[in-house]
Homo-oligomer: A and B are copies of this chain.
Amino acid sequence: MIKAGIIGSTGYAGAELVRLLLGHEDVRIVWYGSRNYINEKYSGVYQNMFRLVENICQDDNIKELANAADVIFTATPQGFCASLINEDILNKSKIIDLSADFRFKNVKVYQEWYKIEHRASQYISEAVYGLCEINREAVKQSRLVANPGCYTTCSILSIYPLLKEKMIDGNTIIVDAKSGTSGAGRGTKVDTLFCEVNESIKAYGVATHRHTPEIEEQLSYAAGYPVTINFTPHLVSVNRGILITAYASLVKNVSWEDVQEIYKKYYQDECFIRLLDRDVCPQTKWVKGSNYVDISFKLDHRTKRIIMMSALDNLVKGAAGQAVQNMNLMFGLDEAKGLHLVPIFP
């Protein structure tokens, strides 16, 4: 039985981790960290857990937690994880960090986009970028995994194979993304009040969103040259779900079958990637509550571009589900353990 601790368990991603781990038969949650609700009943904060979780929220104490847990999930603001980890902690407990602290190999990129000094840069080289479908073997060996961002996961998985196979021009990539509001977290802001989000659509973080360099770094590895993209996130009035519409210029004449063949080469044995049939577009409603990423594409011969589309649940494959998938790999379990979640509709 793996003992798991969660720091930041009362955020939306933290709460989703709780939901998933409660259904994972090899895991027991031993620590519900929450700075805002110290000493309150967890099920008083998340009433869906009434009678399922009897625990009390605990203040952050990573030292004590590392003694109690085999794995620590940090679903915390940027900079937090980097400020706490050290050799002692890492020797006692594996870390899966849901923040951006260890997602970049180049610390300057992190510091430039996040405006935070990195407090544990000595662990950057060791940390593994936990996009399982791409770094599976490295994750298995790792004690420190940087869980990818939600937009990032969706974007990279769509584009990676075509870039790697030199089907598209890396300098023409535009990612137009739409996200449900749970991605904005449970903090209280006017911008995420019901009446502000409901019945509206908006772009935000245009040309400045922090997931941009994260996508670029991974795509550059695939391309073998530096890739710079446009990334525009939009806020949509749904709770869960990310949809990516990505555009790129094709570098050669290809048929739908040619492209599908490449996707299959990379993903046909992946349990969480579903390559949709021709002319079927992904919809977030079909992946809600599950760890799936649905991927499809369309060729436009008029413009010689490809439109790549994908959908995932930002709290599952975009956060907690992927974290559990990483945990499974790190502990030598079946990668899909606890993640056989049938999408819930409607």
**A: which residues have CB within 8 A of B?**
12, 15, 19, 22-23, 46-52, 174, 176, 178, 180-182, 186, 188-190, 192-204, 206-207, 228-230, 232, 234, 236-241, 243, 245, 247, 274, 276, 280-290, 294, 298-300, 302-303, 305, 307, 309, 311, 340, 342-346
Contacts and interface: CB of A to CB of B under 8 A. Distances in A.
Given A198-B198, A247-B174, A230 B309 contact: no
B294 A228 contact: no
A174 to B, nearest CB: 5
Contact of A234 (B203, B229, B238, B243): B243
Q: Which 8 A-B pairs have the closest CB atoms?
A: A200-B285, A48-B343, A195-B346, A188-B188, A202-B283, A176-B176, A194-B197, A207-B300
B344 A245 contact: no
Nearest to A216: B302
Nearest to A19: B342
Contacts of A284: 199-202
A207 B299 CA distance: 8
Nearest to A195: B346
Contact of A48 (B48, B202, B228, B286): B286
